[in-house]
Amino acid sequence: MSNAVPGAVDDTGPKAKDIAYRNPGAADGPVVWQLVKDTPGLDSNSPYYYTLWFRDFADTSLLATVDGTTVGFLTGYRRPDEPGTYFVWQTAVSPRHGIPFLGVKLFQAAADREVARGARYVEATVSADNRAIIMVLKQFAKKHAAPVHTEVLFPAALFPDGSHHDEVLYRIGPITGG
């Protein structure tokens, strides 16, 4: 039985200061796969995919943990044809993590780390309807006083099942400071 007072702030849950960020490893693949599977609207990949991704792209991806439990992740990489560009591919947070703006913090931590490592551009593709992610990208651009260029990178017609949306590219940069 709880002694909680209606309308009172709950100070018992995790807070932003409790978040630990770390690079993923192959063993994190199945956990992240389950998180994606439990997150509506995300493109699903196989457990093998995440395990392989975290072997090959661990240095440019990030996990958020609270007390050792994965509560969010971000996959990203430096584009081989444009190594000064950091592309953020997928991110998700557990709906039960209890930390305000965790997805925003995860994106900013990963993107800022890559800017500090020399990235001059940050890219991501999103649905035109995904206002929350678009706001995060615009806030990041504003923080770095960088312009944002948008264009449809992959039109919905490219995807064979007919249920996919246009993938709109947001390209932020050039970013001049780290």
pLDDT, tens only, 134-170? 999 999 999 999 999 999 999 888 888 777 788 999 9
62-66 and 148-154 beta bridge pairing: unpaired
Quote the pLDDT of residue 6. 32
Quote the pLDDT of residue 169. 96
Query: Is residue 116 in a domain?
Result: yes
Query: Is residue 4 in a domain?
Result: no
Mapped onto helix, strand or coil, the DSSP state of residue 52 is helix
Query: Is residue 30 in a domain?
Result: yes
- The Cα–Cα gap between 177 and 72 comes to 27
Number of domains in the chain: 1
| Side-chain half-sphere exposure of 100, counting CA atoms within 13 A | 2
Query: Is residue 49 in a domain?
Result: yes
Q: Report the predicted TM-score, pTM, of the whole model to 2 decimal places.
A: 0.85
The DSSP secondary-structure symbol of 157 reads G
Q: Which residues of the chain have pLDDT under 70?
A: 1-17, 177-178
| Token output for 52 | 């392989």
Query: Is residue 55 in a domain?
Result: yes
Query: Is residue 1 in a domain?
Result: no
Query: Is residue 33 in a domain?
Result: yes
For residue 125, the enclosing domain spans 18-172
166 vs 62, 85, 119, 127, CA distance in Å? 26, 21, 26, 6
E strand or H helix at 135, and its extent?
helix 131-143
Query: Is residue 9 in a domain?
Result: no
The CATH number of the domain where 73 resides is what?
Answer: 3.40.630.30
82-93 and 121-126 beta bridge pairing: parallel
- The Cα–Cα gap between 100 and 58 comes to 25
